[in-house]
Amino acid sequence: MVFSKKIKRTLISLVALVSLVSCGAVFTTPVSADTSSSYRNNEVNLDVKSAIAIDSNSGQILYAKNADKTLPIASMTKLITVYLTLNTIKNKKLSWNQKVKPTASIVKVANNVEYSNVPLKMGHSYTIRQLYQATLIESANGAAMLLGQTIAGSQKKFIDQMRAQVKKWGIEDAEIYTACGLPNGNVGKDAYPGVNKNAENTMSAKDMAIVGQHLLKEYPEILDTTKLAHLDFKDGNKTTKMVNFNWMLKGLSQYDQAYPVDGLKTGTTDAAGACFIGTVEHNGARLITVVMGARHQDGTDPSRFIQTKKLMSFIFNKYHLVTMTAGSQINGAKSIKVTDGKDATTNIGLKNKTTIWDPADGKTLTASLNKKTIDAPLEKNQTVGNYQLKSGSEKIVSLDNPNGMNVKAKALSANGKVNFFVRIWRWLFGGR
């Protein structure tokens, strides 16, 4: 009788388990508030409307001020134009030495002395390389528009490509109307149809950081151009001496050897104020910073670079870089329970070599795993989940996960699955 009751209880449990699985039961964990829009912003006073600093490789957020707020981005727009140019060349639909001629409307923009430009002439031919260099160094609006025209066949079609590209990156709040960053009405006949002439391209500081991250990951050679303080643009017998608007480069007025910046792009309009997405290598890691809406009293105002230095100084002094090799274990999550495994647990460690900007506050770097258990069998080096990292009680956040930072964990050894009879025995009587 006792045995039959036990069988009955077992069968009931089995039915309940099957029902639960069949119904697709879902367990949810409360998500904490997004901390990535304003992260450590009370620790440094930046005179800008918004800002962000991230690790270029991992996307770890190191500082943020109103980072989700959409604002005019002006000529920082050109980085999207350049990305699509590089992508088109990579796909062999365009070549560096290919020569193209500007349209009348592009020539009109390119010769407007109120804008940053390299003058293009009707009937003259220019290589893609020339236009690319002029876009990045002199922030030439006509050159950027001609790149877009060549790639897509019209400004509207190119703008549509730009919009599609940023959506691929997960950017949903962007408004894009021109390939160069000028207000819509300032590009004449090439204005995006059905849109107010005062409409400007807008994105958030976080969005711009994503753009910079993709550029540097996929086309690091962009730095070979963005690091140039000066370059000549030759058009027949005429030479235009281009000077980079990034004054933090060596040889220009805001250069500081403590911050050897080698990119990326400035942006300025009346609505945007002074903007700058910068990048610098530090102790083997690469930092991306974005400042938007800095003061812009006139063309000699260095405010955006002063604020960038202040931000970089904060990062360099308030963080220290920790590089851990693949297989390294982190306090707080050194093993995981294994269901039906020959061993009850399996040791885990980092899937890949990982660099973390650890706040220099004396607090211990710890981790938790997004899974409590995993099913056997496990192979050595198999991915078992993601670490979420903390420094003391402070979360380490990233662009991908504003409520934490996902770092892949792997099994450090294999763990086979026990046979059916052992599983039944454990189920009925417990134990291993």
Which residue numbers are catalytic?
75, 78, 139
Number of neighbouring beta carbons within 10 Å of residue 165: 18
Q: How far apart are CA 67 and CA 71, in angstroms?
A: 10
Gyration radius of the chain over CA positions: 27
Provide the residue type at 398 as one letter.
Answer: S
Q: Please give the full DSSP string across 275-299, using - where no structure is assigned.
A: EEEEEEEETTEEEEEEEEEE--SST
Which token pair is 278? 């910068």
* Distance from C-alpha of 317 to C-alpha of 53, rounded to nearest angstrom: 14
Q: What angle do CA 318, 323, 328 make, to 5 degrees?
A: 130
Alpha helix positions (H), 186-286: 205-218, 223-226
Residues in a beta bridge with 294: 274
Distances (CA, A) of 402 to 60, 231, 399, 425: 9, 40, 6, 44
The whole-angstrom separation of Cα 314 and Cα 308 is 10
Which pair of tokens denotes residue 281?
């290598």
Identify the residue whose tokens are 């959506």. 167
